[in-house]
Amino acid sequence: MADPVIKLIIPARNEEGAIGKVVTSVINQVDGAIVADNGSTDETAKVASNAGAKVVSVPIPGYGRACQAAVKMAGHHDILVFMDGDASDDPADLPRLLQPILSGEADMVIGSRILGDCDPGALTVQQRFGNTLACWLMHLFWGHRFTDLGPFRAITRESYERLNMQAPTYGWTVEMQVRALKKGLSCREVPVHYRARIGVSKISGTIRGVILAGVYIIGTIFREAALSLQSQLRNVVRVKGCSVLQNGEKIP
């Protein structure tokens, strides 16, 4: 891909201590950064804007909602990069993340914290367990081995649009990976460095956050598996030339 327009999407909820550093550390490597201020009650929006990001306000909390709203605001782009706003992702890894897309080898690249190195305490035991389980289920259902659901990732615009992303909250990352597999996209992982976040942990370090994230992530995988099964059954019915009624309409 020659000279692509790269837009960076950063969901952020109460990240005033980190978001300025995140934006300034990466803004020169992309063609624009969009921070989705997800109902913050602190100065996240102001700090992000001062650092050079475009800010979109998304009042209802939800990781997926924030990402989707920011993508809508991104304007023209060829590649989307997603990164957390708590300074846990390392901008030095961006070239490595983009390389397989730029060379035409991949449609989507996930930054794997498991293949890379994590600072002490950056990736909790609960996160590692949840990611391993989710990746195992993806392999079981769709036959592809991911090692992580890392938030630092890149995808071509065309591929992103094919995924019709829906997950409003924590299911966002796994939904993107599962739907990429279902659409037959070329998926890669590259090792990334994961740092301890700036500011107070909201998800992985809290019992409520871990349970909620786990339920949404695993629930998303089973929902996607059920949808796959449903469409396979429909195909079988079609191939057999049966005529069945669905929602009151006849499928020839």
Ligand X SMILES: Nc1nc2c(ncn2[C@@H]2O[C@H](COP(=O)(O)OP(=O)(O)OP(=O)(O)O)[C@@H](O)[C@H]2O)c(=O)[nH]1
Q: Give the pair of three-digit tokens for residue 200.
A: 């107070």
The DSSP annotation for 14-32 comes to S-TTTHHHHHHHHGGGSS-
Report the nearest approach of Mg ion to the CB of residue 63 (Å): 10
Of the pair 84, 107, the CB lying nearest ligand X is at 84
Contact partner at residue 66 from Mg ion, ligand X, none, CB < 5 to 8 Å by partner kind: ligand X
Q: Which of 168, 205, 214, 219 forms a contact with ligand X (CB under 6 A)?
A: 205
What is the per-residue binding string for ligand X in 59-88, x denoting contact by CB under 6 A?
A: --xxx--x-----------------xxx--
204 binds ligand X (CB under 6 A): yes
Q: Which residue in 184, 168, 178 sits closest to 222, CA to CA? A: 178
In angstroms, the Cα distances linking 141 to 176, 178, 182, 222, 225 are: 15, 9, 10, 9, 7
Q: Which of 30, 38, 146, 152 forms a contact with ligand X (CB under 6 A)?
A: 38
In angstroms, the Cα distances linking 226 to 100, 219, 221, 231 are: 31, 10, 9, 9
d(CA 252, CA 241): 7
> Contact 231/156 with Cβ under 8 angstroms?
no
Report the nearest approach of ligand X to the CB of residue 243 (Å): 46
Q: Which of 12, 56, 106, 108 forms a contact with ligand X (CB under 6 A)?
A: 12
90 binds ligand X (CB under 6 A): no
153 binds ligand X (CB under 6 A): no
201 binds ligand X (CB under 6 A): yes
User: How many Cβ atoms are within 10 Å of 67's Cβ, its own excluded?
Assistant: 26
Which stretches of the chain bind Mg ion, using CB under 5 A? Answer: 86, 88, 197
Residues that bind ligand X (CB under 6 A): 11-13, 15, 38, 61-63, 66, 84-86, 197, 201-205
